[in-house]
C-alpha cells in the first residue's frame, strides 16, 4: 500500500481494465464476474488507474463499435493478450466528467493521461498542463494523483527522445502542480537511469511496466499486428521479463513502486511484493479472468 498526504493506493490496484472512467467497459459489464469485480473494487477502496485519456478526442486502431478493428486486441496463450489499441478515447474533458461520476459512486480513481509527444514536446506539455487544469476543475479535491503514461516506442532513437520529453514534462507538471501525487508509467524499453532522473526531479511514484513490445519479447518472430507497430504483450507471457526488470529497478530507486505486468494469480502478486513492490497492478487478468482478479482483491485489499 502507498500512503500519501492526500490519498492512498491499495496493495493491489487495477490498471486500465475498468476503462476511461473506472466504472467498467462495455461489453465486459454484461458479465456477472466482471460486475462482481466492480463491486469488490468499490467496496475495498481498491485504486483504479484509468485507461489513458489524451487532451483531445482521439481515434486509435481499436474502436469498440467497429468489428473490423477488434483484431487489434488478441488473446495469447497463458492468459496473455496482444494489443495495439492505439489510445482511442473521448478526450480529457469527457473522461474527467465520467471519472467524476465514478468517484461520486465511491470508486477510487486515479486518471491516466497520455502526453502526445508526437505533436512536439512543447505542444504536448501545453496540452498536458491544460488537461490537468480540467481534471482539477471537474474533480476538485478528488484529483489528488495523476498517472502519466510515458510508455514508449522501442527504437533507440525514439527512446532517447521519449526520455528527454518525459523528464521535461514531469518537471513542468511538478512545477505547476506541486501538491499532485505524480506517477510516471514506464516501459521495459526505458533504462533505469530514466527512473532515477524522474525520482530526482520529484516524481512521487513509478508504475512499471506497461505492455512489452512484441518484438522485445519475441525477437525471432513477426507480430500478427506488425502492420500497426507490433502491439504490446501483457498477461502471463510478459511476467518473467517484467519481474526481472522490476527487480533491477527496485535496486536503483527508492521512491514507491507500483509493479505490474503479467499477474495471473495471487502467487504472482506475492512475487512482486517479495521483490519490493509497494503496490501491484493488474489489467489483463481482470479482462480474461475477472473472478480470479476479484479473489485477489478480496485477499490483499479486503
Ligand atoms: C487492451 C489493453 C489496453 C491498454 N491500454 C492502456 C492505456 O490506455 N494506457 C496505459 O497506460 N496502459 C494501457 N494498457 C496496459 C495495462 O494498463 C498494463 O500496464 C499492462 O497490460 C500490463 O499489465 P497486465 O499484464 O496485468 O495486463 C493496456 C493493456 C491492455 C491489455
Q: Nine-digit cell at 207? A: 508504475
Q: Which of 51, 211, 225, 272 to mutate to test the pocket of ligand 1 (most atoms within 8 A of CB)?
A: 211
The pLDDT assigned to 155 comes to 65
Residue 187 Cβ < 6 Å to ligand 1: no
Sheet with 80-83: strands ordered across:
73-76, 80-83, 232-235, 212-213
Q: Which atom of ligand 1 is nearest to the CA of 62?
A: 1
CA–CA dist 107, 102 (Å, integer): 5
Does residue 154 have a pLDDT over 70? no
Residue 264 Cβ < 6 Å to ligand 1: no
Q: Nine-digit cell at 42? A: 468499490
Does residue 152 have a pLDDT over 80? no
Q: What angle do CA 81, 86, 258 make, to 5 degrees?
A: 60
Does residue 23 have a pLDDT over 90? yes
CA–CA dist 89, 87 (Å, integer): 6
Say what the pTM is: 0.96
Burial environment of residue 274 by CB neighbours within 10 A (0 to 12, 13 to 18, 19 or more): exposed
Residue 61 Cβ < 6 Å to ligand 1: no
The pLDDT assigned to 156 comes to 67
Residue 283 Cβ < 6 Å to ligand 1: yes
The pLDDT assigned to 62 comes to 87
Spatial contact of 17 and 284, defined as CB atoms under 8 Å apart:
yes
The lowest-confidence range among 83-92, 239-248, 252-261 is 83-92
The pLDDT assigned to 41 comes to 98
Q: What is the mean pLDDT of residues 175-192?
A: 96
Q: How close is the Cα of 211 to the center of ligand 1, in Å?
A: 6
Q: What is the mean pLDDT of residues 174-201?
A: 97
Q: Whose CA is nearest to atom 14 of ligand 1?
A: 16
The domain locations on the chain are 2-60+87-212+235-301
Spatial contact of 294 and 43, defined as CB atoms under 8 Å apart:
no
Burial environment of residue 140 by CB neighbours within 10 A (0 to 12, 13 to 18, 19 or more): exposed
Residue 284 Cβ < 6 Å to ligand 1: yes
Q: What is the mean pLDDT of residues 110-115?
A: 97
Spatial contact of 124 and 169, defined as CB atoms under 8 Å apart:
yes
Domain 2-60+87-212+235-301 is found in CATH 3.30.465.10: no
The size of the chain, in residues, is: 302
Residue bearing the bigger pLDDT, 249 or 64: 249
Q: How close is the Cα of 186 to the center of ligand 1, in Å?
A: 12
Q: Whose CA is nearest to atom 24 of ligand 1?
A: 261
Residue 69 Cβ < 6 Å to ligand 1: no
The lowest-confidence range among 106-110, 112-116, 149-153 is 149-153
Match 527512446 to its residue by C-alpha cell: 159
Banded model confidence at residue 171, pLDDT cuts 50, 70, 90 = very high
Q: What is the mean pLDDT of residues 109-128?
A: 96
First to last CA, the chain: 12
Q: How close is the Cα of 293 to the center of ligand 1, in Å?
A: 15
Q: Which residues contact 15 (CB under 8 A, 6 or more apart)?
A: 49, 112, 207, 260, 281, 282, 283
Could you give the dihedral angle defined by the CA atoms of residues 101, 264, 298 and 98, in that order, rounded to the nearest 10 degrees?
Answer: 0
Largest CA distance in the chain: 49
Q: Which atom of ligand 1 is nearest to the CA of 238?
A: 25
pLDDT tens per residue, range 76-105? 999 999 999 888 999 999 999 999 999 999
Residue 146 Cβ < 6 Å to ligand 1: no
The pLDDT assigned to 153 comes to 64
Question: Does the N-terminal peptide bond of residue 276 adopt cis geometry, omega within 30 degrees of 0?
Answer: no
The pLDDT assigned to 160 comes to 75
Least Cα distance to 41 among 271, 289, 258, 296 occurs for 296
Q: What is the mean pLDDT of residues 169-192?
A: 97
The pLDDT assigned to 27 comes to 87
Q: Which of 49, 283, 285 to mutate to test the pocket of ligand 1 (most atoms within 8 A of CB)?
A: 283
Q: Which atom of ligand 1 is nearest to the CA of 51?
A: 8
The pLDDT assigned to 60 comes to 86
Q: How close is the Cα of 252 to the center of ligand 1, in Å?
A: 24
Amino acid at each position: 500500500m502507498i500512503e500519501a498526504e492526500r490519498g492512498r493506493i491499495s496493495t493491489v490496484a487495477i490498471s486500465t481494465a475498468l476503462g476511461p472512467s473506472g466504472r467498467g467497459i462495455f461489453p465486459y459489464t454484461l458479465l456477472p464476474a466482471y460486475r462482481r469485480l466492480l463491486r469488490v473494487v468499490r467496496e475495498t477502496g481498491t485504486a483504479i488507474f484509468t485507461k489513458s485519456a489524451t487532451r483531445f478526442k482521439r481515434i486509435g486502431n481499436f474502436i469498440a463499435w467497429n468489428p473490423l478493428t477488434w483484431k487489434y486486441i488478441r488473446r495469447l496463450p497463458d492468459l496473455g493478450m496482444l494489443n495495439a489499441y492505439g489510445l482511442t478515447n473521448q478526450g480529457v474533458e469527457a473522461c474527467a466528467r465520467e471519472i467524476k461520476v465514478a468517484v461520486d459512486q465511491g470508486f477510487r480513481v486515479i486518471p491516466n493521461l497520455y502526453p502526445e509527444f508526437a505533436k512536439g514536446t512543447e505542444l504536448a506539455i501545453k496540452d498536458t498542463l491544460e488537461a490537468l487544469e480540467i481534471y482539477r476543475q471537474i474533480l476538485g479535491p478528488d484529483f489528488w494523483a495523476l498517472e502519466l503514461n510515458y510508455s514508449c516506442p522501442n527504437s533507440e532513437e525514439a527512446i532517447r527522445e521519449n526520455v528527454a520529453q518525459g523528464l521535461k514534462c514531469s518537471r513542468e507538471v511538478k512545477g505547476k502542480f506541486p501538491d499532485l501525487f505524480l506517477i510516471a508509467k514506464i516501459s521495459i524499453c526505458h533504462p533505469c537511469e530514466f527512473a532515477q532522473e524522474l525520482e530526482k526531479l520529484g516524481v512521487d511514484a513509478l508504475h512499471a511496466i506497461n505492455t512489452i513490445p512484441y518484438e522485445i519479447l519475441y525477437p525471432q518472430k513477426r507480430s500478427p499486428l506488425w502492420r500497426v507497430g507490433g502491439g504490446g504483450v501483457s498477461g502471463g507471457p510478459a511476467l518473467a521479463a517484467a519481474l526481472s526488470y522490476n527487480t533491477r529497478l527496485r535496486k536503483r530507486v527508492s521512491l514507491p513502486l507500483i509493479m505490474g505486468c503479467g499477474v495471473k494469480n495471487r502467487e504472482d502478486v506475492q512475487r512482486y511484493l517479495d521483490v519490493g513492490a509497494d503496490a501491484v497492478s493488474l489489467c489483463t487478468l481482470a479482462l480474461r479472468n475477472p473472478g480470479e482478479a476479484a479473489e485477489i482483491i478480496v485477499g490483499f485489499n479486503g
